[in-house]
């Protein structure tokens, strides 16, 4: 990430004061035409964090593992999810692990308090500690375990040299057209492979342009994007931007947030991929910028409340007083494909 | 805030990748020598948010209201607090309101779920909604009510034209040496008066250099800074940077965070004030930068765990794996008074 090359993308205003600014990088890639839009540094070197879960799920399908155990579209959506830890998510993870002959103890993602309030309150009031199924990445890890079992590999599937992670590194390199040389450890303890933002946008454009009869990789891409768009509630949860945006767009796009201000989108009808990163890591900045780009491309209705809320607000305080708003800047709102 | 003039202050690294950067403005002001350190734009025009609570509490003392009802140092610390809503905070607010012949319904800050986990869990499991006493600003608002009663003013003490807020605007102008012309509505519905970062650093230096026999304003400044340093647990709460830093420094400094990346400090033994603002609003950035400045000035021991944790980390994930660290940049770590 070249800090000198990032661009102001989203401002936060309170009363008459511009209170904050979120700088970042964004790339819009058309599968045939190449890069059709960029702000900041298109070659910014980033960790995709959870926005790469669709890429991380490719080997699960391409290996035959998913079909061997009969994974459903719901499970594929969960494999790409950063979920809220609601019962709808954890119940499915519990059954998935059980179907594999495994249990919560086989996960390596670590425990996390659910962001879903009813689930959190239920744990608190029954004096039950959250476990690894509540981790927002437990679907991804269930996918990892499914692939690991299929490959007859060892239990430490998060080791960077484990066959599961080697397959993910290879898939990442193939879909981004870049050698994968660096990784960091993610919040869920899995390796997260670094790459350029343009490489990830190119990968998302491939997901967008993929066809069911285009070979094993493209067929896997189609199944993952369709699973996400069909089950937006499983990809995140109530109140979350991914879920709300996918619901608002019908089958217009599959979108996935990542920690530290990353957001990727797959827009099949336009064969377009989007990858953006807010330099400071702010989720509110990534959500505003992505919603604006989705509207510019024409898949998100500007009249939909989620567009207005994410790109403008209002920002309300604890008495529901309107105290400020967001503003997408740097001509991001004017760009058209 | 001139976005072109802010400076990178704190980086976030994960594995081999620089994942995020926090830009901002910081000013160090000596009461006799003037500005002795600055990064970014010293004249950045900012909302001080909760970092200005010491200024907002000046009229409470200067008017005689505090002494008329016999406010204790604990109550003065609460008047400057953004507290966690723990029982230690809300019990004191309840008694304070009762002593005034008032109740929770007289507050205008709005309800807020406590960040204190035992208090939160107690509310959740007794199916009790949080009320306005749990709002992190309820101590400040109790101070406003104390002053309002003393002035025999009306109940809507958060109106910008209410005598309480007019007194605060005048005090803000006097201690910053700047005309106050703009305000925004804060999260707690009170007006928050804007000013330059250098103006606020100058104000904090005045708090630092104030003496008990220097007149009514200086005496009020001494009482507020002493109350904060004596009761760091009441200014924020367990686990919070303000509380931990003040405990680590003994009576070395009074420090106060504010929303959207603001942090102010009062350092009496050096007659120094500090005011900083992270442009993107990140608390982690403001905490790292402030801890570094406090150590540079010599009031925070570099060997203390809170210094290491706030300026470096490590950043640990949900399995307590060390995944990254913070790095204070732009020669901020090299600066000395």
Which residues of chain A does B194 touch, with a Cβ-Cβ cutoff of 8 Å?
A: 16-17
- Selection from B293, B82, B51, B61 nearest residue B194 by Cα: B51
Q: Find where tokens 């008047």 sit.
A: B79
* ipTM at complex level: 0.97
Which residues of chain B does A17 touch, with a Cβ-Cβ cutoff of 8 Å?
A: 1, 45-47, 182, 184, 194
Give the pLDDT of residue B337.
Answer: 87
* Cβ contact, residue pair A318, B185, below 8 Å: no
Task: Return residues 105-144 of B near A (CB < 8 Å).
Answer: 108-112, 121, 124-125, 135
Give the pLDDT of residue A5.
Answer: 85
Model confidence band, residue B2 (pLDDT cutoffs 50, 70, 90): very low
Q: How far apart are CA A240 and CA A257, in angstroms?
A: 10
CA distance A251 to chain B (A): 32
* Cβ contact, residue pair A46, B183, below 8 Å: no
Which residues of chain A does B121 touch, with a Cβ-Cβ cutoff of 8 Å?
A: 124-125
Q: How far apart are CA B133 and CA B110, in angstroms?
A: 9
pLDDT digits (tens, 9 = 90+) for B275-320: 999 999 999 999 999 999 999 999 999 999 999 999 999 999 999 9
Quick one: what percent of chain A has pLDDT higher than 90? 96
Query: Domains plus CATH for chain B?
Result: 7-334 (3.40.710)
- The answer, yes or no, to whether the previous bond of B314 is cis (omega within 30 of 0) is yes
Task: Return residues 148-187 of B near A (CB < 8 Å).
Answer: 182-187
| Average pLDDT taken over every residue of chain B | 97
Residues 6 or more apart whose Cβ sits within 8 Å of residue A240? A84, A257
Q: For residue A100, give both structure tokens.
A: 């594999």
Q: How far apart are CA B139 and CA B281, in angstroms?
A: 24
- The pTM of the full predicted model, rounded to 2 decimals, is 0.97
Q: How far apart are CA A45 and CA A2, in angstroms?
A: 8
Backbone angles phi, psi at B126, to 5 degrees: -105, 10
Of A109, A260, A321, which is closest to B20 when you measure between CB atoms? A260
Q: How far apart are CA A131 and CA A337, in angstroms?
A: 45
Which residues of chain A does B280 touch, with a Cβ-Cβ cutoff of 8 Å?
A: 20-23, 278-280, 282, 285
What is the secondary structure of A247-261 as a DSSP string?
HHHTTS-EEEEETTT
- Selection from A116, A13, A55 nearest residue A275 by Cα: A55
Task: Return residues 16-35 of B near A (CB < 8 Å).
Answer: 16-23
Give the pLDDT of residue A331.
Answer: 87
Strand bridging mode B45-46 / B195-196: antiparallel
Q: Which residue on chain B is closest to A281 by alpha carbon? A: B20
Q: For residue A123, give both structure tokens.
A: 């744990």
pLDDT digits (tens, 9 = 90+) for A189-224: 999 999 999 999 999 999 999 999 999 999 999 999
pLDDT digits (tens, 9 = 90+) for A40-88: 999 999 999 999 999 999 999 999 999 999 999 999 999 999 999 999 9
Give the pLDDT of residue A2.
Answer: 41
| Average pLDDT taken over every residue of chain A | 97
Q: How far apart are CA A208 and CA A263, in angstroms?
A: 15
Q: How far apart are CA A138 and CA A120, in angstroms?
A: 16
Model confidence band, residue A330 (pLDDT cutoffs 50, 70, 90): confident
């Amino acid at each position: 990430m070249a800090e000198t090359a990032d661009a102001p993308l989203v401002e936060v205003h309170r009363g008459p004061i511009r209170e904050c600014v979120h700088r970042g990088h964004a790339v819009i890639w058309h599968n045939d035409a190449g890069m059709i839009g960029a702000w900041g540094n298109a070659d910014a070197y980033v960790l995709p964090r959870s926005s790469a879960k669709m890429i991380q799920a490719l080997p699960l399908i391409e290996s035959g593992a998913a079909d061997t155990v009969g994974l459903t579209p719901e499970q594929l959506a969960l494999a790409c999810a950063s979920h809220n830890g609601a019962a709808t998510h954890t119940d499915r993870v519990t059954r998935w692990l059980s179907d594999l002959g495994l249990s919560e103890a086989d996960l390596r993602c670590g425990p996390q308090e659910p962001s879903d309030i009813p689930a959190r309150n239920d744990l608190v009031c029954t004096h039950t500690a959250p476990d690894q199924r509540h981790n927002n990445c437990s679907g991804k890890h269930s996918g990892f375990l499914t692939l690991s079992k299929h490959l007859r590999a060892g239990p430490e599937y998060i080791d960077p040299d484990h066959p599961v992670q080697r397959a993910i590194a290879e898939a990442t390199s193939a879909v981004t057209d870049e050698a994968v040389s660096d990784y960091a450890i993610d919040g869920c303890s899995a390796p997260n492979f670094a790459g350029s933002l343009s490489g990830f946008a190119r990968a998302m454009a491939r997901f967008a342009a993929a066809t069911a009869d285009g070979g094993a990789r493209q067929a896997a891409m189609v199944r993952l994007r369709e699973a996400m768009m069909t089950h937006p509630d499983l990809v995140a949860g109530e109140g979350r931007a991914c879920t709300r945006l996918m619901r608002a767009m019908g089958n217009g796009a599959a979108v996935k947030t990542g920690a530290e201000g990353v957001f990727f989108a797959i827009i099949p009808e336009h064969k377009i991929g989007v990858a953006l990163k807010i330099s400071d890591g702010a989720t509110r900045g990534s959500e505003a910028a992505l919603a604006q780009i989705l509207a510019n491309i024409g898949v998100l209705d500007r009249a939909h409340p989620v567009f207005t809320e994410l790109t403008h607000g209002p920002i309300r305080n604890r008495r529901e007083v309107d105290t400020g708003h967001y503003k997408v800047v740097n001509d991001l709102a004017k760009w058209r494909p």
